[in-house]
Structure formats: structure tokens, C-alpha cells
């Protein structure tokens, strides 16, 4: 646990420097260093553009040997995000985890997933089916509608 705490303190220091450049803000809970929030400014040229998405990040005591648990707190229409639970389907959060990953790099990977959804492993079957059918217009319209409804204040 001491290793995880030291690593998280180092990551917090780095995150405060990077916030302006990346569109990613990482905020640790004031009373629990193992609970974080992240605010992502959606990538340009996507149906999510202009949206601000909040993530809940739970860091295990075995971190960085074990990946954090990440969930969207903001509802999002995306094949790799579960609409109700906010769960994220991303290999680095499961089988492809490496201690080289940081909370910031995990957020960068999620931003990349917003730009380039993977329809082959959908947690949201409706979104996945639209993409697999080649209905980009339908997918983009739904994603944009949910972004306007839930991610734009």
C-alpha cells in the first residue's frame, strides 16, 4: 500500500502540470487517495466534441501492479461504455494492463476510444450494432444527442 500511495502522490504532481495541455483533469478525493475523479474534454471532430465527461476512478491497494477501475459518471452513447453502469471496455483495464500505465495515460486511452470506437467488443449493443451496420449517421446522431443532453453544461 505504501508503494501505491507513493506512486499516486507522484502521479498527482504530474497531473497538475499536464491539465492545461491535454484536456484531462485528474482530481483525487480529499480524504481518500485511492478514489479519483477525472474530467475529460471530448476530442474534436467527434460527435462528443464540446462535451465534458466525468469519470470515477477507484485505485486498488496493489496499484500499479493491478489496474484501476474506471467508470463514466456522465452518460455516454458509445459501444465500449455501458450506458447504465458507466463501465469501460478497454483492454488496458483488464488483460493488457502494465505498471507503466498511469491514471493520466488511462484517461488518454479512453479519449482515444472516444475518437475511435471498437464495435467488436460492445458493452452498448445498440451503439455497436449501428457501427457494425455501417450506419455512421445514426451512430453520430445518437452520440451527439446524448452528449448535448448529459455532457454539456
pLDDT in tens, 103-153: 999 999 999 999 999 998 789 999 999 999 999 999 999 999 999 999 997
| Mean pLDDT along residues 85-110 | 96
| Mean pLDDT along residues 23-38 | 94
From the list 89, 107, 125, 141, the catalytic residue is 89
Q: Is 139 helix (H, G, I), strand (E, B) or coil?
A: helix
Residue 63 neighbours by CB distance under 10 Å: 20
Sorted by where each starts, the structural domains of the chain and their CATH numbers stand as 2-151 (3.10.110.10)
Is 107 tagged catalytic?
no
> What Rg value do the Cα atoms of the chain yield, rounded?
16
Predicted local distance difference test score (pLDDT) of residue 113 = 95
Predicted local distance difference test score (pLDDT) of residue 40 = 96
CA 141 vs CA 37, 49, 65, 146, 148: distances in Å = 28, 12, 39, 9, 11
Q: Is the pTM of this model over 0.85?
A: yes
Q: Is 54 helix (H, G, I), strand (E, B) or coil?
A: strand
d(Cα 113, Cα 89) in Å, to the nearest integer?
Answer: 10
Amino acid at each position: 500500500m505504501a508503494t501505491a500511495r507513493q506512486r499516486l502522490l507522484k502521479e498527482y504532481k504530474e497531473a497538475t502540470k499536464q491539465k492545461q495541455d491535454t484536456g484531462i483533469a485528474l482530481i483525487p478525493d480529499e480524504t481518500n487517495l485511492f478514489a479519483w475523479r477525472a474530467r475529460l474534454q471530448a476530442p474534436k471532430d467527434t460527435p462528443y466534441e464540446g462535451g465534458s465527461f466525468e469519470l470515477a476512478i477507484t485505485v486498488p491497494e496493489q496499484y500499479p501492479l493491478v489496474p484501476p477501475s474506471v467508470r463514466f459518471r456522465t452518460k455516454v452513447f458509445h459501444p465500449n461504455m455501458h450506458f447504465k453502469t458507466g463501465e469501460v471496455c478497454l483492454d488496458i483495464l483488464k488483460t493488457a494492463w502494465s505498471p507503466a500505465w498511469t491514471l493520466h495515460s488511462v484517461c488518454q486511452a479512453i479519449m482515444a476510444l472516444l475518437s475511435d470506437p471498437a464495435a467488436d467488443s460492445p458493452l452498448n449493443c445498440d451503439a455497436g450494432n449501428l457501427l457494425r451496420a455501417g450506419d455512421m449517421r445514426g451512430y453520430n446522431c445518437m452520440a451527439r444527442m446524448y452528449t448535448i443532453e448529459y455532457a454539456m453544461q
